[in-house]
Amino acid sequence: MSTETSKSLFEFFARAYRDTNERVAFNYPSWITQLKSDAPAARVAHVCLQSALASMMARPGWGGRIAGLDFDEELTPVHYVQALEAIRKMNPSGADEVMAPILSGLREYLGFTGDIKGTDRIDGVDGGSGVLHGLATEAAGRNAAAVTPVDVVNYMLDLSQSAQVHTYALDGLGLLYGLDEQHRRAWAVGDEFQSEQAIVWPNSLEKTLEEAWMWFKAPEFSNRAFLEIETLVAAEKKPASALLVNAARQDLPFYPAETKEDDLPTNAGLLNRCLTAGYQKVVVLVSNHYLTAGRGRAELILRHCLQHGLRRVIQLPMGVLGLRSQAHSILVFEQGANVDAVAFENLMDEALTTTVAKGFGLPRRARQFDRGNAVGSSHIHSASVQTLLNRRPGSGKARKILSFEVGQFSPLDAIAPVRDRYEFMRLGSFMDVFRSHHVVETGDEKRSQYSEIGAANISADGWVSLGKMKDCPTDSLERRQAQILRDGDLIMCFRGSPDSYAKAGIYRHQPGVQAVPNQSFVIIRRKQDAPDNAPSPELVLWWLQSQYGQNYLQQKAIAPDVMRVAPRDIDALDVPCGPPGLIEEEEKRLLRAQQASQRINELRTEVAALLEKAWQQ
């Protein structure tokens, strides 16, 4: 119902900007007409702002109370104009930029149409936060990271364990509006936090409206403009012990201020004050990019978060704030107590999601989070701070923390169900695992050709076919001799979309062809000095494709936007190598699978031949 009301409001106000037989549509504000590629989005955002103001005027105790509207009467745009004029007079300096163009538009519309009757009347405005959430989402281009979806907001509210919360104004629209309509218990705050002064907006938003006259950034503009409207009509905010923060679009929201790095993003540490503002609990939505960081920053970030009371890391299901490959997490900070352990909770389970609705005012994303199923989740484990920060040995080298995503510290053994049944050998002890790199252009006049292998060239049963033939400098290919596939090499996609990630196959050499996998692959090649009892490449592939191998790779995945696994974790995979009797049984099962696959391919060939002759004499 809320999105239907949002859409009805939007369509009502949008009619003022359309030409009809009776009149010519009036103009948008001048800064919108000056835009080029962003103009359509700017026009949508402008109408959404008008619709939001109308909705807020209809909310009992808000604009109606201030402007003296009688809610026993059926409201028309005339009443809204009167209410907006009253609020503008109360705070002219803060209202002019946002409200002046809206007032002029409504007045011009009423000049054409007079008092509104019949179908033009605004009916059913419940003033609930759901209406505003839909309008704010539409104004921001349905960006789920900018306007937090309601299901995620309510889960964050549950984590706050607070009857009243503050939301940080930067990207705070979804947090502010995405609440149960009957229980509005959130107030927006800027950098002043708990003080009783008037709202002081975050510095990064101060010039957003000024910039809007030069270019249009949909999420930034709508966030700033909506929050200014909220400040004009909102009741006085109440104190709160918890702060909700949406940092999903920030690269490094929390970062040590004393760190000196030349390549740091300009907004690094932008939200540090949120952790030192005196709130008992701070609940933060972040992209998994922050947890992986890159450039060796993950451990530094983890230490910084621990110093400020990080108590929980919760992995949300993939796709609930964007594409199916995008991952986000929630960090929970608690003040006033020493952190000796961190709880990790993995909600990356498709059973915790439902099909997402699409349409006006609804975020663009792959799935909807079913927070009801997340209550009492069994995917929770704790790790001591000492365990988190100690470097763990791996392949004789010190292991740096590449990420502090939930799966990186899971104590679960992916191959526990068969651990006692088989003897195991570390993959890296008998096979080399190394990345494939791009064949670069050097300018050498002597040219060669090679077949580039991608995920699409690996069949469901693990056979690798040749890919697109590419031309390259001969000297460049000669420097990549190790990457030219040999007979019996395994390749595995170590980074990619959920459909491509961990896809593996075995290469069979074809005379006269040089094949090189693209840079999303690792090559797994048998060592010359491999032990005699080491599993064959075919058996290793069989293990990688099994539920145990796949579960291991899923558990070790680092997943900010595309899933990826560190080659060292592939190297560390345990592969069954005994007892001989059980291995022999598994080899027979593998042989039967290969024979079945061969029969399937023969049948496909037969079907293709029949189709080619279909309907012929």
**What six digits make up the tokens of 160?**
């706050």
Q: Rounded to 5 degrees, what angle do the CA atoms 160, 390, 281 make?
A: 10
pLDDT of amino acid 616: 83
Per-residue pLDDT tens for 260-309?
777 787 788 889 999 988 899 999 999 988 888 766 788 889 889 999 99
The rounded distance, in Å, linking the Cα atoms of 592 and 595 is 5
The residue among 108 and 186 whose pLDDT is bigger is: 186
Instruction: State the average pLDDT over residues 202-219.
Output: 74
User: Which of 111, 57, 62 lies closest to 84, judged by CA?
Assistant: 57
Per-residue confidence (pLDDT) for residue 80, from 0 to 100: 54
Strand partners, 286: 247, 329
Structure tokens at 135: 């309008």
Higher pLDDT, 564 or 103: 564
- Residue-level pLDDT at 200: 62
| Integer-rounded Cα radius of gyration of the chain | 30
Q: What is the 3-state secondary structure (H, E, C) of 162-208?
A: CCCEEEECCCCHHHHHCCCCCCCCEEEECCCCCCCCCCCCCHHHCCH
pLDDT score at 555: 83
137/142 Cα distance (integer angstroms)? 5
Q: Say if residue 314's pLDDT is above 70.
A: yes
Instruction: Please name the amino acid found at residue 505.
Output: G
Tell whether the model's pLDDT for residue 374 goes beyond 70: no
Question: Cα(600)–Cα(598) distance, rounded to whole angstroms?
Answer: 5
Note the pLDDT tens digit of each residue in 426-452: 999 999 999 998 888 877 778 889 999
Among 181, 186, 13, 39, which residue's Cα sits nearest to residue 106?
13
Helix (H) or strand (E) holding 475, with range, is helix 474-478
Decide if pLDDT at 382 tops 90: no
Lookup result for tokens 């923390």: 401
State pLDDT tens for residues 36-81: 888 899 999 988 887 887 676 655 444 444 444 443 444 454 555 5
Cα-to-chain-centroid distance, residue 597: 38
* Lowest mean per-residue pLDDT among 149-163, 328-342, 484-498: 328-342
- When mean pLDDT is compared over 65-79, 186-200, 205-219, 573-587, the highest value belongs to 573-587
Beta bridge partners of 471: 449
pLDDT band, residue 417 (cuts 50/70/90): very high
Mean pLDDT computed over 408-413: 78
pLDDT greater than 80 at residue 233? no
Average predicted confidence (pLDDT) for the chain: 80
> When comparing pLDDT for 33 and 426, which is higher?
426
Residue 429: predicted pLDDT:
95
DSSP 392: P
Give the pLDDT band of residue 184 (cuts 50, 70, 90): low
Tell me the per-residue pLDDT of 104-134, one tens digit each, with 9 for 90 and over.
Answer: 555 555 555 444 432 233 444 444 577 889 9
Task: Name the packing angle between helices 129-139 and 218-233 (round to 10°).
Answer: 150
The residues, any chain, with a CB within 8 Å of residue 593's CB and separated by 6 or more, are 461, 542
Quote the CA–CA distance of 215 and 39 in Å, as a whole number.
Answer: 9
Q: Tens digits of per-residue pLDDT, 458-494?
A: 988 898 998 899 888 888 888 888 999 999 999 999 9
DSSP 14-67: HGGGS--SS-PPPPPPHHHHT-STTHHHHHHHHHHHHHHHHHHHTSTTTHHHHH
pLDDT of residue 546: 94
On whether the CB atoms of residues 476 and 444 are closer than 8 A, the answer is yes
Q: State if pTM tops 0.75.
A: yes
Q: 194-199 — which CB contacts under 8 Å span 24+ positions?
A: 194/239, 194/277, 194/278, 194/279, 198/231, 199/169, 199/231
Single-letter residue type at 107: R
CB 276 within 8 A of CB 290: no
Q: Is the pLDDT of residue 368 over 50?
A: yes
In angstroms, the CA 115 to CA 98 distance is 24
What is the Cα–Cα distance from 69 to 75, expressed in whole angstroms? 9
What is the Cα–Cα distance from 128 to 291, expressed in whole angstroms? 35
Residue 88: the pLDDT is 57
What is the pLDDT, as a whole number, of residue 611? 92
Distance CA 134, CA 137 (A): 5
In the chain, the domains with their CATH numbers are 2-127 (no CATH), 130-194+239-408 (3.40.50), 416-599 (3.90.220.20)
Kindly state the tokens that stand for 88.
């503008």
The stretch 399-415 carries a mean pLDDT of 77
Using alpha carbons only, what angle is made at residue 44 by residues 42 and 50, rounded to the nearest 5 degrees? 105
- Closest Cα partner for 379 from 427, 314, 320? 314
* The pLDDT value given to residue 375: 57
Amino acid at 498: P
Query: Of 73-77, 288-292, 496-500, 577-581, which has the strongest mean pLDDT?
Result: 577-581
333 touches 305 (CB < 8 A): yes
- Comparison of pLDDT for 269 and 33, the residue scoring more: 269
Give kind and range of the element (H or E) at residue 382. Answer: strand 380-384
Q: With 0-12 CB in 10 A as exposed, 13-18 as middle and 19+ as buried, what is 194?
A: middle
- Predicted pLDDT at 61: 45
What are the C-alpha distances in Å from 284 to residues 175, 420, 443?
11, 41, 49
In this prediction, residue 189 has a pLDDT band, given cuts at 50, 70 and 90, of: confident
Tell the residue number behind the tokens 């008037």, with chain if given. Answer: 198
% pLDDT > 90, the chain: 34
